[in-house]
Amino acid sequence: MSEFQRLRCRVAFHALQFRSEIQTLGRQMVERLRAWGQPFLSYHPGLVRDTLAYHGCAELFQDVHTELIQYRRAQMIRQGIISDELNVDSHLQRENGSCPLMPEEVGLLLRAMGYPSKTIIYLAGSQTFGGQRLLIPLRAMFANLVDRTSLCSKTELSDLVGPETPLPSDIFQLPRPKSESEIKEEWSRAGPRPRPLPPPPERRIYPHEKEGWYGWITETDKEPNPSPRDLRMQAHRLLWDALDYIISVEADAFFPGFNNDGSGWPDFSGLVMGQRLYERASSRTYRPDRKTIAALFDITRGNMYHPKHDWTLSVKEHLNKSLSEEGLIRQSLLSKPNSFLSHPLPECSCRISSLELTKQTEGKD
């Protein structure tokens, strides 16, 4: 049985490798981060639409993003992925630790831990649901927030993708303007006088307003099938995630925004934490308890940017415990039943029996 376990570990952490081009560019990105002359921290927000819909975290967002999450949750219910109701209390889910930490909250936690504003933070993840708006508070606290576009040129990223077949142009066609005769005809066919003033001219429609979900969320309740361009972007995101994975494993510290969500799906942060634990068990990998963090933020919700000293000490105590043996034990109890790769110890660690250790000691003596 032990031989099968060794084979399992070798396949998971040695045999499976990224393409050589991905590894080369990933190492170059790590070297560029190291060239700044200071340690860097990797942060993965974990803000993915499917995950947010699965756990019912729609109310944590605003406007159209809430509708998008609810629409995806309704799809999951129809497909049998979720057996829960469509409308759930997102704030209760957050208090239970089922929703991700927001970038603003992570920035406040890092600041409470004593990270200076010049700290280099690498933003991992090919997409962040909610867009750059959610990253504004984090970027205001830590100006050196970088991602792959900051470290790589467009040529390097396009070379990684390789040659692609050109897609047909998907240019939005503006509606044909009405002629003067058509306007007069509509006016003559209108109801009896007195008539109201004609409506003002329609606002100009810009092409970017018809790209992505902008093109359907305001006009129909049914999400269209992915276009060839959307499918190609999904394939590109796999490459970007591979680059971010390499950098996150090599980072001096790693902070997950969302991991071990209980869905049973492999998540980016969990895989990174397992790889870091396998290669360097002493690496600085935070394992925060989102339920505890939510309770701490509820205490100082009205004054988050100027918390009391006791609150800062509580945050430091919790995050330092997550780095210690206590955090490892908690992570083992939560992660191992769902995903072996997220916590490969002690199965993948080098272990020597007490009898062999005694023989080695006697031989040296």
Residue 232: inside a domain? yes
Q: Taking phi first (over 0 means left), then psi (-120 to 50 degrees means alpha), and beta for anything else, what does residue 324 get?
A: beta
Q: What is the pLDDT of residue 205?
A: 63
* pLDDT, average across residues 38-48: 93
Ranges assigned E (strand) in 248-302: 253-256, 284-285
User: Is residue 192 a part of any domain in this protein?
Assistant: no
What is the reported pLDDT for 342? 76
* Other Cβ atoms within 10 Å of 343 Cβ, number: 25
Question: Which amino acid is residue 211, in one-letter code?
Answer: E
Q: What is the mean pLDDT of the chain?
A: 83
Radius of gyration of the chain (CA): 26
* Contact (Cβ atoms closer than 8 angstroms) between residue 98 and residue 334: no
For residue 176, the model assigns a pLDDT of 72
pLDDT at position 216 is 66
> Per the domain annotation, does 294 fall within a domain?
yes
Band of pLDDT at residue 187, cut at 50, 70 and 90: confident
Q: Which two tokens stand for residue 237?
A: 């995101």
In-domain check, residue 235? yes
Confidence at residue 326, expressed as pLDDT on a 0 to 100 scale: 83
Confidence check: pLDDT of 34 > 90: yes
Instruction: Answer whether residue 120 shows pLDDT above 70.
Output: yes
Give the predicted TM-score (pTM) of the model: 0.82
For residue 260, tell me if it sits in a domain: yes
The lowest-confidence range among 172-176, 334-338, 350-354 is: 350-354
Q: Which of 183-187, 232-236, 340-344 has the highest mean pLDDT?
A: 232-236
pLDDT in tens, 261-273: 666 667 888 889 8
pLDDT of residue 8: 77
CB atoms inside a 10 Å sphere around CB 211: 12
Q: Is 357 a residue whose pLDDT tops 70?
A: no
pLDDT at 248 over 90: yes
Q: Tell me how crowded residue 134 is: count the other CB atoms within 10 A of its CB.
A: 17
The count of structural domains within the chain is 1
Query: 278-316: per-residue pLDDT in tens?
Result: 888 888 999 999 999 999 999 988 888 998 999 999 999
Q: How many CB atoms lie within 10 A of CB 66?
A: 16
Are 86 and 74 within 8 A, CB to CB? yes
> One-letter amino acid identity for 297?
F
The full DSSP string for 122-181 is EE--S--TTGGGGGHHHHHH-S-EE-HHHHS-HHHHHHHH---PPPPP-PPPPPPPPPHH
Q: Residue 172: is its pLDDT beyond 70?
A: no
pLDDT average, residue stretch 157-177: 76
Residue 336's pLDDT is what? 64
What b/e string do you get for 139-162 counting C-beta neighbours within 10 Å, with b at 16 or more? eebbebbbbbeebbeeeebeebee
Kindly indicate the confidence band of residue 83, based on its pLDDT and cuts at 50, 70 and 90: confident
- CA angle, 186 as apex, 182 and 188 as ends, to 5°? 115
- Residue in this structure with the two tokens 């504004």, named with its chain if needed: 136
Within-domain flag for 335: yes
Q: What percent of the chain has pLDDT over 90?
A: 36
Q: Which of 131, 138, 65, 133 is nearest to 103 (CA)?
A: 138
Checking if the pLDDT of 47 tops 60, the result is: yes
Which range marks the domain in which residue 245 is found?
A: 2-47+100-160+206-364
Residue 304 lies in a domain: yes
CA 169 to CA 263: how far, in whole Å? 39
Cα–Cα dist 23/243, whole Å: 8
Residue with the bigger pLDDT between 335 and 328: it is 328
Q: Is 63 left (phi over 0), alpha (psi -120 to 50) or beta?
A: left
Identify the residue with better confidence: 22 or 130: 22
Q: What's the pLDDT at 148?
A: 93
* DSSP 8-state symbol, 70: H
Which residues neighbour 113 within 8 Å (Cβ) at sequence distance 6 or greater?
315, 316, 319
Tell me the two tokens of residue 266: 């492999």
Q: Is residue 70 part of a domain?
A: no
